[in-house]
Amino acid sequence: MTRHTPPSAPPKIRLFSRSSWPEARHLADVLRTETVGGALLLSGAVIALIWANSPWSDSYTRLGDVVPWPGAPWHLDLNLATWAADGLLAIFFFVVGLELKREFVAGDLRDPRRAALPMAAALGGMLLPALIYVAVVLSGGGEGLRGWAIPTATDIAFALAVLAVVSSHLPQGLRAFLLTLAVVDDLFAIIIIAIFYTAGFHPVPLLAAFAAIGLFAVLVQRGRTWWWALIPLAIAAWTLMHASGVHATVAGVLLGFTVPVLARRPAGGDQPTTGNEQAGAAEAGEGGLAARLEHRWRPVSAGFAVPIFALFAAGVTLRGTDLGALLRDPIVIAIVAGLVFGKSIGIFGSTYLLARFTRAELDEDITWVDLLGIALLAGVGFTVSLLIGDLAFGAGSTADDRVKAAVLLGSVISAGLAATVLVRRNAAYRRVAERERLDTDGDGVPDVYQHPDAR
């Protein structure tokens, strides 16, 4: 008599579970760099605020208005503030492109089951702030609808600086979620910028920009890392993209997308055939060109490009301002409400619904309170929010100072609420962090990554 063995139940989906050791190692390197960058970003913002409200505020304004080379061709007679936003942030978005490519090829986003969570959370965390912004502005008369995308962005450097200040030892699964969420958020942000904030579209320079990006792609895909060829091609792509009317930072993301992630295999080498070899493809990504370029350019982005942008962008002048009128302004209320409530409710609600409909469970070390803290932290929207504000209303416009004040206020409130929630769980986080560092056999790989049940 044949005995029928009942089929085994599929493994339960665990949200915020630890990733692999190579992924955790890469994440730790990124977070270290971005945390230092976040401190520099905050320093740049504080200097800008103090300078713009000091007796020397005119010198701050004059510095941003300086045009280094007037009469330059291709619409490149830009002032320093615009160079910081359009030029330096292209480096930031190039690193974003590299990180996105790595996530889709060798990171969490290559696995649809793991990708569903940050994708859903990022989408919810962008839709709800935009809806709140539109609703508030419409109720106040409808002026300023063009800024609907301002509260949709998350600033990972600012967020990590907050975590460093409160000494929060987040579990690896939560840190990975926060970083991946921010990367996906940046992807949606650059799509929004390209589609909704393009002015005076010119197809010929755009096609020429794509040609330069194509030549860049051919070189990097063949492993040709000639700086004397790649840097001029990248500059040409940026210049032509700028001349086309599409925001020039889009060129940075597209260039990052072209860079190969996985290490090149020797000619004639066999492709991975076993499950272990395929699972190890992510480790191979550590030796790919994308990882090397990211390692080289992320410190430039986090340590120079973004802080200099903050120095020029965050200088809102409050002297002589009627603070009561400012706080009653529909644009200010819409941005603050979008960042504080829209981001947190959108991310928390999307994750809760995903867990409910997929019957997923939280990892044993994670609680819903932890997710609330991360969702509040995602309301820190600084760099990209300020950039979208400039694109929506124009630097120096009547709405410019209101947008800057609102982004700063919303980000500070979100950071304060997140810190309040996360600090209460710090003791639990510290115990998890100790387990994640424990390496009893001294082989350099913590025990929890070799034996997932080690708790």
59-198+247-263+286-439, what's its fold?
Answer: Na+/H+ antiporter like fold (1.20.1530)
The pLDDT-based confidence of 72 (bands split at 50, 70, 90) is low
With contact defined as beta carbons under 8 Å apart, do 109 and 115 qualify? yes
- The full DSSP string for 83-105 is IIIIIIHHHHHHHHHHHHHHHHH
> Tens digits of per-residue pLDDT, 275-322?
444 444 444 445 588 888 988 999 999 999 999 999 998 888 877 677
pLDDT at 4: 55
- Per-residue pLDDT tens digits for 199-215: 777 889 999 999 999 99
**Across residues 225-241, what is the average pLDDT?**
92
3-state class (DSSP) for residue 15 = strand
Question: Which residues, listed in sequence order, are joined to residue 14 by a DSSP beta bridge?
Answer: 361
What are the pLDDT digits (tens) for 367-397?
A: 999 999 999 999 998 889 999 999 889 877 7
102-111, 125-134, 185-194, 220-229: segment of lowest average pLDDT: 102-111
pLDDT at 57 over 50: yes
Residue 154: closest CA among 379, 442, 434:
379
How many CB atoms lie under 10 A from the CB of residue 259? Answer: 24
Give dist(CA 197, CA 157) in Å, integer. 24
Whether residue 165 has pLDDT greater than 70: yes
Residue 365 CA to residue 379 CA, distance in Å, equals 24
Domains of the chain by residue range:
59-198+247-263+286-439
**Beta-carbon neighbour count of residue 112 at 10 Å?**
8
